[in-house]
Structures are given as C-alpha cells and as structure tokens.
Structure 1
C-alpha cells in the first residue's frame, strides 16, 4: 500500500520579524508530502512550482535524494523501483 500524505508547514515562524526586522509573512509557503510504501515512511517530496523534489528518509533511497520529479506519483514509482533493486 502506498500513500502520499500532505503536510503543510506551519506559518507561525514567518510572522516573526527576522534579525533585519523584515516580516517574512509575504513569502510563499511550500507544501510537502510524506511518501509511505508498505506503511513505512521512506521520504518526503516538497513542491516547488509545478514539480517536486524528493528527500529520502530511508537509506536505501539515497540515490533519489534531491531528484526532481514531475509529480508525487512519479516519485512514488521511482522509490518503489529503487526499493525493489535494494531487496
């Protein structure tokens, strides 16, 4: 079973002024998704524009670290394929 669970970053940190006094509340927030395969979290994808970047939380997926995909589904397929190679 594979799931892609959306997680929104909390915006609280952006409401505080920075050391320069600049308010960061106008900055765009990114959306991230936890990638789970067979009930194990194996990585996270972070949306950037219309694509996503994969960040591995499972050492077997280190080859995919930082790789950019067209969508979360493509990242899930690549992760599943990589885990099949590692088995």
Structure 2
C-alpha cells in the first residue's frame, strides 16, 4: 500500500468522527501509556547512549513526566470534553 493511500484512509477515518468520543481518546492515551511503560527500559538505554543520562534522570525528566501527564489526562479528559456554556459578548451579535 502506498503512503498516499494510507494517508487518504486515515483522513477518511478521522472525518468519520470515530476519534471524537471520550472512550476512543482515553483508549488511545492508555495504549500510549502501556507502550511507554513497555519500552521504558529501552528508552532509558537510548537516552544513556545518546545523551549520557542516567536511568533515574531519564525517568525523572522524561518518561516519568510523560507517564504522569498521561495519567492526569486520562483522569480528566471526560470532564474536559463536556459541553460548556459560555457567555457571548454583545459585540458578537
């Protein structure tokens, strides 16, 4: 399959609205979280090799922060996606 075909399929899928539900987004975040945990050691090894970061430093400054952000977003995403009424300024009429 050509790259242009893959891109077109992705655009059609996105336009279908399947990615808009909180359930889909939370599942995607959880999948990213699981993948990061799975490869955490390999990422730390790569940071040691490329940046000379100790594994603890790699966790504290890189992967640990991302994991915490993912946890926070998973916990709050549904509330953030709720419809919210906002006042319309008079100048907008």
TM-score bracket relative to the smaller structure: 0.3 to 0.5
| Structure with the higher fraction of residues in strand conformation | 1
| Structure with the higher fraction of residues in helix conformation | 2
Q: Greater relative contact order (Cα 8 A, min sep 6): structure 1 or 2?
A: 2
Q: Which has the larger radius of gyration?
A: 2
TM-score after normalising by structure 2 = 0.32
